[in-house]
Structure 1
Amino acid sequence: MSPDSQPALACSGISSSYGPVQVLFDVDLRVGEGEIVGVCGPNGVGKTTLLRVLSGVQRSSGGVVHLNGNDITTTSATRRVKLGLTTVVGQAAFGSLSVHENLRAHGHALGRERGELNDSIDAVFNIFPRLDERRDQAAATLSGGERQMLVLAKTLIQRPRVVLIDELSLGLAPVVVGGLLELIRRMASLGTSFVVVEQSVNVALSLVDRMYFMEKGAFIAEHTPAELRAQPGLVEKLMLGGGH
């Protein structure tokens, strides 16, 4: 992202606490249009909390969040979705409903008109032919990779400008992860921006344009994949909290 361009999503000075326990400390992040940014670090350092603050599910105790140049720091999570900021967490779906019913229910919840919703669902099935083959199958009977596809498909119906993803690869086979990464790259090429929290550094390196490393609620480093590949041992050092 050019230093002079307006980021699709940015936060600065973000702090957040759970009761008396402060979890985030003065976090700054930016992601440009069509850019994929990763956030890595050990468990329990505040990565998911950061996504919760960005999505509006959790309020910050300090700092500001901007979406496409607009201050959304005090904007509700529901309103942020309508403004184009959405979150993918796990493989959540209505298990008793079919794939098609899940997509339709999600679209209706967003207030989409019938014709517009039908067009959106058709477009999603073109992108996810595997889901099209299983459109009448109950979501509970899908594989883990297929459920993750369904979550991404529901995200597409929202027509997001920025997508936050928490642990995309968790519990999925490598071949499935590879297919999901390609779908994310395709969405990014069309202008959608991503912030991806990922425990697997190798997965993140194969996907992101830039990567932030977090320790104890603060970012300790920011690198491109090329920079990390050129410095053997740096990733391990950063993941172990040795980036200072």
Structure 2
Amino acid sequence: MTDAEPLLRLRNVSTHYGAIQVLREIDLEIRRGEVVCLLGGNASGKTTMLKTILGSVVPTQGEVLLDGRRITGLPTQRLVGLGLSMVPENRRLFKRMTVRENLELGCYLRRDTEEVEKDFERVYTLFPRVRQRLGQRAGTLSGGEQQMVAMARALMARPKLLLMDEPSMGLAPVLVEQNFEIIREINQQGTTVFVVEQNATMALSIADRGYVLQTGKIVLADTAEKLMSNPRMQAAYLGEL
């Protein structure tokens, strides 16, 4: 079940880099308990959307709201404290640090020590390979293992909303399927998820709803099931709409 009030809302958001407009009057919402995906090709504005949500880019128009509170332009550290957590593109682990040290960075703002220990056990259950690699330097892991650590690190913040940037990038097809199954399980355990992804088929297979972004504008928005069967979907996704 999802609440009526969106957990995250972008209202009439436009973003520029200098004179270049990247996002155009974006209206988007994510309700509690959902998996929502944002689809689009290269240079569609997907990464800028995430940067705008996370405060590293300030929109030139509109506002971003979390739990009804305006968070537009707040620094990323503040947003982590308010319940946002990110699994970045290409994982971006601290490669010289151990897996355990990377996980500890995910919960550096938390002071609820007993609950933190429970969350360590939770991520070890989700990612048994992570438990096996705790003392190993993160840079020596395979791509699939690094993705697991990046997801586990983000979960250690115990987020209200987990943001994921291209979780399938650089992974073998079998690992992509495993990855998305874990994302589905994370959601079923109570975490709302926003997946930004080029792999439309995989993203829509686990999503409740989806948005399609083209040249900075949302051109389609619907339930995942309806997007899958929408004849306009392929045209929009390939940039022909």
Fold shared, TM-score > 0.5 on shorter chain: yes
Q: 1:176 to 1:200 in 2, by over 3 A?
A: same
1:225 aligned residue: 224
1:173 aligned residue: 172
SS at match of 1:12: strand
Alignment size in residue pairs? 240
1:34 and 1:190 in contact (8 A); partners too:
no
SS at match of 1:181: helix
TM-score using structure 2 length: 0.92
In 1, the alpha carbon distance for the partners of 2:43 and 2:91 equals 21
2:83 and 2:161 in contact (8 A); partners too:
yes
Deviates more, 1:87-96 or 1:120-129: 120-129
Residue 148 of structure 1 and its aligned partner are, at CA, apart by 0.6
In 1, the alpha carbon distance for the partners of 2:226 and 2:115 equals 44
* Residue 238 (1) aligns with residue 236 (2): yes
2:145 aligned residue: 146
Residue 111 of structure 1 and its aligned partner are, at CA, apart by 4.7
Which ranges in structure 2 are unaligned for 5 or more consecutive residues?
none
SS at match of 1:197: strand
1:212 and 1:219 in contact (8 A); partners too:
yes
| Residue deviations 1:134-182 (CA, integer Å, cap 9, x gap) | 1222211111111011011011110000111111101101221122212
| Residue deviations 1:51-101 (CA, integer Å, cap 9, x gap) | 100111110111011111211124222111100012211211121222112
1:86 aligned residue: 85
1:12 aligned residue: 11
Q: CA RMSD in A?
A: 1.9
| Identity among equivalent pairs (%) | 38
2:14 and 2:26 in contact (8 A); partners too:
yes
2:220 and 2:233 in contact (8 A); partners too:
no
1:72 aligned residue: 71
2:26 aligned residue: 27
* Residue 207 (1) aligns with residue 203 (2): no
Which ranges in structure 1 are unaligned for 5 or more consecutive residues?
none
2:106 and 2:154 in contact (8 A); partners too:
no
2:136 aligned residue: 137
Residue 212 of structure 1 and its aligned partner are, at CA, apart by 0.7
2:215 aligned residue: 216
TM-score using structure 1 length: 0.91
Residue 115 of structure 1 and its aligned partner are, at CA, apart by 4.9
1:12 and 1:63 in contact (8 A); partners too:
yes
Residue 114 of structure 1 and its aligned partner are, at CA, apart by 5.2
2:64 and 2:70 in contact (8 A); partners too:
yes
1:184 aligned residue: 183
